Amino acid sequence: IKTIGVLTSGGDAPGMNAAVRAVVRTGIYYGLKVMGIRKGYAGLLNGDMEEMTLRSVGDIIHRGGTILQTARSAEFNSEAGVKKAISIAKVFGLDALIVIGGDGSYRGARDLANQGFPVICIPGTIDNDIASTEYTIGFDTALNTVQDAIDKIRDTAYSHERCSVLEVMGRHAGYIALNVAISGGAEAVILPEKEFDIDRDIIKPIIEGRNRGKKHYLVIIAEGVGGAVEIAKYIEEKTDIKTRATILGHIQRGGSPTVYDRVMASRMGAYAVKLLKEGKINRVIALQKGVITDFDINEALQMKKTIDEEMVELNKILAL
């Protein structure tokens, strides 16, 4: 392998730039040519790429978003699109592709791999919902962004003795919601992975908390459940506590990556290039028990991830 391409795909995540930087610099260190592909698979299909130098990734490690930009491509979702992408990759002399993204991006990479084009995937999404890895780049930054918002919301909730309902991102997964429920001291958290009953899981802890002397309340709703505005209205009706809903939205995707995300992205980016250097292809990078490792891409996409029941229980105890 002499020339590699790198792209970011799907939703952007803070730390993607640090991963691109690591791929480019490690690649050049090992004597490889690295092509930066703009706008994900759509850019690959358009041949939208250029050679990266040590300097083209200077001054990006601290920046959120992705300098390569990202997109979702309908054309790439077909066998003809995948074959076209491979022929364009070959025109540009690419021998392998490093894809930084989430589940959908992994499936695109798997299609390339199964059509004979070598790939490596790096997990990048704020949702932390990729089954093969305990950690995805961007998760820690998003958690800290949400926590910052919670601290601000608590100030005003305390002042007015109100209940705050906060809806956080995560698509179909509740990892962001569960973690910020614990870090933010929420009275209740509603996750898409767990069936729930609004009276039992939200109203009851709020009323019991009020009876024990609580003056303000925080309820976290995962985006995969949704309905924060309606839930807020219901809480107000049932408890007579003034309740306000906040849907945090895309603020959670932006911002300068935390140290953890920068370091993780740098390690995973370098690891991806080393795999290719050793002739290993069609692998996904993963964090397992604190160690960076790799799996076959087809196997990785069969894996399942569950929510941590101990953390769900912990939140209930700490919310007392």
What's the one-letter identity of residue 146? V
Residue 138 backbone zone (phi > 0: left; psi -120 to 50: alpha; other: beta):
left
- Reported as type and span, the H/E element at residue 167 is strand 163-168
Contact between 170 and ligand F6P per CB under 6 A = yes
Q: Residue 24 and residue 34: Cα distance in Å, rounded?
A: 6
What's the one-letter identity of residue 143? L
On whether the CB atoms of residues 223 and 168 are closer than 8 A, the answer is: yes
Minimum CB distance to ligand F6P smaller for 81 or for 192 = 192
Q: Which of 12, 48, 111, 127 is catalytic?
A: 127
Q: Residue 15 and residue 17: Cα distance in Å, rounded?
A: 5
Span interacting with ligand F6P, options 42-50, 163-171, 234-242, 290-298, rule CB under 6 A: 163-171
Q: Residue 135 and residue 124: Cα distance in Å, rounded?
A: 9
CB of 236 to ligand F6P, least distance (A): 27
127 catalytically annotated? yes
> Which residue among 126, 143, 178, 272 contacts ligand F6P (CB under 6 A)?
126
Span interacting with ligand F6P, options 16-24, 39-47, 106-114, 119-127, rule CB under 6 A: 119-127
CB of 92 to ligand F6P, least distance (A): 28
Span interacting with ligand F6P, options 168-176, 234-242, 261-269, 278-286, rule CB under 6 A: 168-176
Contact between 193 and ligand F6P per CB under 6 A = no
5 DSSP β-pair partners: 35, 97
Q: For residue 28, what are its two tokens?
A: 């050049």
> Which residue among 102, 124, 192, 269 contacts ligand F6P (CB under 6 A)?
102
The residues carrying an active-site annotation are 127
Q: Which residues bind ligand F6P (CB under 6 A)?
A: 11, 102, 125-127, 169-171, 223, 253
